[in-house]
C-alpha cells in the first residue's frame, strides 16, 4: 500500500528535477538572498542596544531554520496553484485517496530542495556561527503536527477557491499574506509589541511553523506548544475533511 | 501621413482596450455582493498582514537601524506602491514575460492586430488588483503626516520620479531574466515570478545599519534595495547628492541590457519556436 505513495512521491521528485538540477539553482540563490538580510536585521537590532525577549543567537537560529525548512513551515501544495491543467480533476481518476495523493506528491516535491539546499546549509551552520541543533527532541512531533496542520489548511483553502469559483490567485495572495504574519515564521511572536505574544500563539496559524521554531530555539516549552498544535490539528482536519467532501462536486477546471 | 494615422489608431485602440479590460475587471468584482465583500475584506487583511511584521518590529524598538518608526512605514508604503502599481497594470503577465514565453503564448501575440507593447499593457486590474497600490498611498500619507521633516516644494515630483525608476528597475530585471525562457522555456517559465516575488519579499528590509557587503549586492546584483529602501533614503533626505542619480543610472543600464538580451532571445525564438502543447490541449 505504502509503495503507491512512494511511487507518487518519486514521480514528484522526477517532475521537479526532470529539466535538470541546474534549473533549481535560481530558487536556491533566491532563498539565500532572502536569508541574509533577515539575519542581519536581528544583528542590527541587537547591536543597536535594543533589548528583545529572545537572544540574538535564538533569533538567528529561528530565521535560519525557517528558511531551511520553509516548505514545511507553511505547506503549499499544487491545490494552491492555478487549476489550469485539470490537476484537481486528475486526482479522482487515480486509484489512490485524494488526500494521500496530495500529501505524497507534495512531500516528493520537497525532497530535491531539502537535498540541494537544506542539507548543505545545515552542515554549513556551525561555520556561520549559527546554533543549529534543537534544544529538545519534542521538535520532532511538533514538526509533524505543524506539517499536518499545514496540509489541513491547504485543503481548507482549496475549498475556499472552489466556493469562490476558482479565484485561485486571490485565495493564494490572501493566504500567503495572512500566514506570513500569523504563522510567526518571519517575525517570532515572542518579540511582537503590545503583549501580542500572549494571545497570538493560540490562533490556528500560530501552530504552523512558528510554534515549531519557538520550540526549536528554546523560546517556548513543549507543554505550551504541543497541546495547542494537537487541538488545532483536530479542529482544522475535521473542518477540512468535511468541507472538502461537500465542495468536491463543485470543482471546475479548465485547460490553458 | 500614413504612419501618423496608424499611430493615432494604435493609441485610440490602446485606450479602448484599457476600458474593456477595466470593465471586465469591474464586472468580475460586482458579479455578486458576497463575492465583492469577501474580496474587499480579504484585500484589507492581506495588505495589513504583508507589512505588519516589520512595522511592528519598528514600533516595538522605536525604529530599525537608524530609521524611526514612521520612516520604516514610509519605506514599506513606498514598496507597496511600487509592487501594487505593477501588479495592477501588469496582472495579465506583462510583469512576468517568462510565463508568456515559456508557455508558448508569445506566438499567440503574433496574430493580434496591435503591437506587443499594447497587448502587454492593456491587461489591467484597476478594481480587483489595486488594493496594494491604494493601501500604499494611504500608508505613505500617514507616514508623511507623522514626520518632523518639512518637505520642499519639489518633493512630490521627486517622489513620482523615484517611483517610476523603481518600477522600471523591476520590469527591466524581469524582462532581462525572462530572456532565458526563449532558450529554456520549460525550466525558465517561472523565472520572472521567482525574481519579482523575491524582490517583493526582500524589499521590506531596512538596509540602514547593515554592513557594506550586504548592502552593495542588494543595490547592484539583486537590486531589491532599489525598490524601497534606497529611494526612501533619497526622499527622506538621508542620501548624499551623488547617490540621488545612482538609481536612475542603474535603471537606464538595466533597461538597455534587458532590451539587448530580450531581442537576442526573441531572434532565437522565432527561428526555433517551442511546442509545449499536447494534443489534449494542455501543456507538457
Name the percent of chain B lying above pLDDT 90. Answer: 27
Question: Between chains, do B56 and A255 touch, taking CB under 8 Å as contact?
Answer: no
Chain A residues in contact with B53 by the CB 8 A cut-off are 180-181, 186-187
The predicted-structure confidence for B28-50, as pLDDT tens digits, reads as follows 878 777 777 777 777 777 777 76
Chain A residues in contact with B218 by the CB 8 A cut-off are 37
DSSP assignment string, A127-193: GGT---S-S-TTHHHHHHHHHHHHHHHHHHHHHHHHHTTS-HHHHHHHHHHHHHHHT-SSS-GGG-S
Cα separation, A139 vs B160, whole angstroms:
49
Cα separation, A238 vs A252, whole angstroms:
24
Beta-carbon-side half-sphere exposure of residue B23 (alpha carbons within 13 Å): 6
CA-based nearest distance B4→chain A, Å: 38
Length of chain B, in residues: 284
Cα separation, B9 vs B17, whole angstroms:
12
Question: Between chains, do B57 and A41 touch, taking CB under 8 Å as contact?
Answer: yes
Q: Is residue A164 within 8 angstroms of chain B, CB to CB?
A: yes
How many other CB atoms are there within 10 angstroms of residue B224's CB atom? Answer: 28
DSSP assignment string, chain B: -HHHHHHHHHHHHHHHHHHHHHHHHHHHHSS-HHHHHHHHHHHHHHHHHHHHHHHHHHHHHTSBTTB-HHHHHHHHHHHHHHHHHHHHHSTTTTS-HHHHHHTT-HHHHHTSSS-HHHHHHS---TTTS-HHHHHHHHHHHHHHHT--SPPPTTHHHHHHHHHHHHHHHHHHHHHHHHGGGGT-TTTTTTHHHHHHHHHHHHTTS--TTS-HHHHTGGGTTSGGGGTTHHHHHHHTT-S-GGGGGHHHHHHHHHHHHHHHHHHHHHHHHHHH----B-TTSSB-
* Cell 533577515 sits on residue: A38
Write down the pLDDT at residue A166: 64
Write down the pLDDT at residue B281: 56
CA-based nearest distance B165→chain A, Å: 22
Chain A residues in contact with B198 by the CB 8 A cut-off are 30, 33-34
The predicted-structure confidence for B186-197, as pLDDT tens digits, reads as follows 878 888 988 888
Backbone phi, then psi, for B67, in 5-degree steps? -105, 130
DSSP assignment string, A2-25: HHHHHHHHHHHHHHHHTT-GGGGH
The answer for B 187-216 residues in CB contact with A (under 8 A) is 187-188, 191, 194-195, 198, 201-202, 205-211, 214
Write down the pLDDT at residue B79: 92
Q: Over 80: is that where the pLDDT of A159 sits? A: yes
Q: Is residue A255 within 8 angstroms of chain B, CB to CB?
A: yes
Write down the pLDDT at residue A195: 80
CA angle A7, A13, A19 (to 5 degrees): 130
Task: Identify which of A23, A26, A45 has the shortest CB distance to residue B61.
Answer: A45
Instruction: List the grid coordinates of A179.
Output: 500566514
Cα separation, B170 vs A162, whole angstroms:
33
Write down the pLDDT at residue B198: 85
Name the percent of chain B lying above pLDDT 70. Answer: 95
The predicted-structure confidence for B236-262, as pLDDT tens digits, reads as follows 888 877 788 899 999 999 999 999 999
Q: Is residue A234 within 8 angstroms of chain B, CB to CB?
A: no
The predicted-structure confidence for B4-14, as pLDDT tens digits, reads as follows 788 888 888 88
Between chain A and chain B, how many beta carbons pairs sit less than 8 Å apart? Answer: 103
Please state which of the ranges A173-182, A192-201, B119-128 shows the lowest mean pLDDT: A173-182
Instruction: List the grid coordinates of A251.
Output: 470543482
Question: Between chains, do A255 and B209 touch, taking CB under 8 Å as contact?
Answer: no
Alpha carbon dihedral A174, A203, A73, A81, in 10-degree steps, equals -30
* Cell 458576497 sits on residue: B34
Complex ipTM: 0.71
Backbone phi, then psi, for B147, in 5-degree steps? -90, 145
Contacts of B78 (CB under 8 A, 6+ apart): B136, B140, B162, B163, B166, B228, B231, B232, B235
Question: Between chains, do B42 and A44 touch, taking CB under 8 Å as contact?
Answer: no
CA angle B76, B78, B82 (to 5 degrees): 115
Question: Between chains, do B280 and A48 touch, taking CB under 8 Å as contact?
Answer: no
CA-based nearest distance A70→chain B, Å: 14
Write down the pLDDT at residue A254: 63
Q: Over 90: is that where the pLDDT of A51 sits? A: no
Q: Is B155 exposed, middle or buried (0-12, 13-18, 19+ CB in 10 A)?
A: middle
Q: Is residue B53 within 8 angstroms of chain A, CB to CB?
A: yes
Question: Between chains, do A19 and B194 touch, taking CB under 8 Å as contact?
Answer: no
Q: Is residue A20 within 8 angstroms of chain B, CB to CB?
A: yes
Write down the pLDDT at residue A86: 65
Task: Identify which of A23, A177, A255 has the shortest CB distance to residue B187.
Answer: A23
DSSP assignment string, A177-246: HHHHHHT-SSS-GGG-STTTHHHHTTSGGGGTHHHHHHHHHTSS-HHHHHHHHHHHHHHHHHHHHHHHHH
Q: Is residue B220 within 8 angstroms of chain A, CB to CB?
A: no
Cβ atoms of A152 and A237 within 8 Å: the answer is yes
Instruction: List the grid coordinates of B278.
Output: 499536447
Q: Average of pLDDT values for A99-109?
A: 90
Chain B residues in contact with A182 by the CB 8 A cut-off are 49
Q: Is residue B277 within 8 angstroms of chain A, CB to CB?
A: no
Cα separation, A132 vs A62, whole angstroms:
9
Identify which of A239, A75, A76 has the alpha carbon closest to the alpha carbon of residue A147.
A75
The predicted-structure confidence for A56-90, as pLDDT tens digits, reads as follows 888 889 989 998 898 898 888 888 776 656 677 77
* Cell 504563522 sits on residue: A183
Average pLDDT, chain B: 85
Task: Identify which of A45, A174, A256 has the shortest CB distance to residue B46.
Answer: A174
Q: Average of pLDDT values for B224-241?
A: 88
Question: Between chains, do B56 and A41 touch, taking CB under 8 Å as contact?
Answer: no
Q: Is residue A180 within 8 angstroms of chain B, CB to CB?
A: yes
DSSP assignment string, A44-64: HHHHTT---SS-HHHHHHHHH
The answer for A 189-228 residues in CB contact with B (under 8 A) is 191-193, 196
Write down the pLDDT at residue A213: 92
Q: Average of pLDDT values for A197-216?
A: 88
pTM for this predicted structure: 0.82
Cα separation, B37 vs A213, whole angstroms:
35
Amino acid at each position: 500500500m505504502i509503495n503507491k505513495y512512494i511511487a507518487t512521491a518519486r514521480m514528484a521528485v522526477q517532475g521537479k528535477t526532470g529539466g535538470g538540477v541546474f534549473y533549481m539553482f535560481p530558487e536556491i540563490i533566491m532563498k539565500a538572498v532572502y536569508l541574509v538580510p533577515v539575519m542581519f536585521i536581528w544583528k542590527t537590532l541587537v547591536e543597536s542596544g535594543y533589548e528583545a525577549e529572545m537572544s540574538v543567537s535564538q533569533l538567528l537560529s529561528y530565521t535560519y531554520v525557517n528558511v531551511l525548512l520553509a516548505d514545511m513551515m507553511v505547506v503549499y501544495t499544487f491545490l494552491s496553484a492555478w487549476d489550469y491543467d485539470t490537476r484537481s480533476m486528475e486526482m479522482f481518476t487515480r486509484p489512490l485517496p485524494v488526500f494521500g495523493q496530495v500529501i505524497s506528491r507534495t512531500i516528493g516535491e520537497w525532497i530535491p530542495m531539502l537535498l540541494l539546499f537544506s542539507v548543505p546549509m545545515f552542515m554549513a551552520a556551525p561555520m556561520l556561527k549559527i546554533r543549529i541543533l534543537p534544544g529538545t527532541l519534542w521538535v520532532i512531533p511538533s514538526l509533524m503536527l505543524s506539517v499536518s496542520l499545514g496540509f489541513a489548511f491547504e485543503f481548507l483553502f482549496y475549498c475556499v477557491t472552489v466556493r469562490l469559483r476558482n479565484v485561485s490567485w486571490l485565495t493564494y495572495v490572501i493566504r500567503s499574506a495572512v500566514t506570513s504574519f500569523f504563522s510567526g515564521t518571519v517575525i517570532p511572536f515572542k518579540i511582537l509589541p503590545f503583549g501580542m505574544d500572549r494571545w497570538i500563539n493560540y490562533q490556528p496559524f500560530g501552530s504552523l511553523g512558528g510554534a515549531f521554531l519557538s520550540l526549536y530555539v528554546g523560546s517556548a516549552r513543549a507543554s505550551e506548544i504541543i497541546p495547542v498544535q494537537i487541538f488545532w490539528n483536530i479542529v482544522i482536519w475535521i473542518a477540512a475533511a468535511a468541507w472538502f467532501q461537500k465542495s468536491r462536486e463543485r470543482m471546475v477546471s479548465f485547460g490553458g | 501621413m500614413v504612419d501618423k494615422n496608424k499611430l493615432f489608431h494604435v493609441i485610440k485602440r490602446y485606450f479602448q482596450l484599457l476600458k474593456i479590460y477595466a470593465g471586465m475587471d469591474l464586472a468580475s468584482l460586482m458579479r455578486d455582493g458576497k463575492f465583492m465583500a469577501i474580496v474587499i475584506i480579504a484585500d484589507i487583511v492581506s495588505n495589513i498582514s504583508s507589512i505588519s511584521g516589520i512595522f511592528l518590529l519598528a514600533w516595538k524598538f522605536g525604529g530599525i537601524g537608524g530609521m524611526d518608526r514612521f520612516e520604516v512605514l514610509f519605506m514599506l508604503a513606498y514598496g507597496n506602491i511600487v509592487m501594487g502599481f505593477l501588479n495592477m497594470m501588469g496582472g495579465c503577465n506583462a510583469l512576468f514575460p517568462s510565463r508568456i514565453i515559456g508557455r508558448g503564448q508569445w506566438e499567440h501575440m503574433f496574430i493580434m492586430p496591435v503591437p506587443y507593447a499594447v497587448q502587454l499593457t492593456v491587461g489591467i486590474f484597476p478594481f480587483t488588483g489595486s488594493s496594494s497600490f491604494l493601501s500604499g498611498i494611504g500608508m505613505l500619507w500617514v507616514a508623511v503626516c507623522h514626520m518632523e521633516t518639512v518637505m520642499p516644494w519639489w518633493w512630490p515630483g521627486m517622489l513620482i520620479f523615484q517611483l517610476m525608476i523603481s518600477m522600471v528597475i523591476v520590469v527591466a530585471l524581469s524582462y532581462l531574466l525572462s530572456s532565458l525562457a526563449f532558450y529554456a522555456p520549460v525550466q525558465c517559465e517561472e523565472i520572472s515570478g521567482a525574481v519579482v516575488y523575491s524582490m517583493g519579499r526582500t524589499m521590506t528590509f531596512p538596509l540602514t545599519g547593515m554592513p557594506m557587503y550586504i548592502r552593495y549586492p542588494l543595490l547592484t546584483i539583486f537590486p531589491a534595495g532599489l525598490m524601497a529602501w534606497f529611494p526612501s533614503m533619497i526622499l527622506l533626505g538621508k542620501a548624499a547628492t551623488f547617490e540621488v542619480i545612482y538609481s536612475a543610472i542603474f535603471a537606464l543600464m538595466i533597461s538597455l541590457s534587458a532590451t539587448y538580451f530580450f531581442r537576442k532571445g526573441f531572434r532565437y525564438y522565432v527561428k526555433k519556436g517551442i511546442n509545449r502543447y499536447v494534443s489534449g490541449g494542455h501543456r507538457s
